[in-house]
Structure 1
């Protein structure tokens, strides 16, 4: 039995509400992240440099641009599954780069931050498979015209 045949062709109002709330949560998390970057891009670049990455200001602006695109995709539903997969890869990278095992000895809270990324990752993977839902979703055919 395929995934499509297992799903109901009609979403209940509760399902629609849950999907929309999930999309808003995804968008809000990335909107907060990009807002902090825009408030102090230098601090973000310093954090990136402290982790040992080259070109920290370029990487900070690249992350901000990515996060803006993710917010737009989650809010509109356009390219939703692709955006969720990109966001999942980004969150996995962030978990290891900034909160991975090398950080745990210095600060036990880093392990909690690391694990939190995986719960977010799980939600993004689930969303990538199930899509943006039928309500308030930009039709990709419309976006191409």
Structure 2
């Protein structure tokens, strides 16, 4: 029972983080685009929309368990990209909080990799084929 609860809580936390990030983007897409532009990326509004829909897909997969391992793995790659793009070494000079944000992404990565390997559990899971594991 406690294992099932822990897995469901972890899925809820993962899904909620990406759902919140998605909602912030949809509520103010222009601010997201400005943040992306400030990091030096081209086509910031387009990338903001891509990020919003990608994060929505991650949230749905993590919450439902559908393609959970794949979503966890992709989310891990994504958070490492975000760490370097928006909180990497170029942002640390005189700003210890940026270093903390950078490191936090790797803690999140560890959880996502663990989730990718162990899957969504057996409770409240949409039965969808996984591309990475034989289930």
TM over 0.5: yes
Structure 1 equivalent of residue 63 of structure 2: 75
- State the distance in 1 between where 2:20 and 2:95 align: 24
- Taking the aligned partners of 2:85 and 2:95, their CA distance within structure 1 comes to 15
Q: Of 7, 24, 29, which aligns to 2:12?
A: 24
TM, length-normalised to structure 1: 0.87
| CA positional deviation for 1:107 | 1.7
Could you list the per-position Cα deviations for residues 58-114 of structure 1 after superposition, in whole angstroms to 9, with x for gaps in the alignment? 000000000110111011100000000000000000000000000000422100000
Q: Which residue of 1 aligns with 2:73?
A: 85
For 1:38 and 1:107, the matched residues in 2 are separated by 29
CA 1:51–1:89 in structure 2 vs 1: closer, same or farther (change >3 Å)?
A: same
2:44 to 47, 56, 59: 56
Q: Which runs of 5+ in 2 are unaligned?
A: 130-135
| 1:140 match: secondary structure | coil
| Distance (Å, rounded) in 1 between the aligned partners of 2:94 and 2:22 | 27
- Partner residue in 2 for 1:113: 101
User: Would you say 1:37 and 2:25 are equivalent positions?
Assistant: yes
Secondary structure of 1:135's aligned partner: coil
After superposing on structure 2, the runs of 4+ consecutive aligned residues of structure 1 that deviate more than 6 Å are none
Pick the structure with greater CA Rg: 1
Is the partner of 1:58 in helix, strand or coil?
helix
Count of aligned residue pairs for this structure pair? 129
Q: TM-score, normalised by structure 2?
A: 0.94
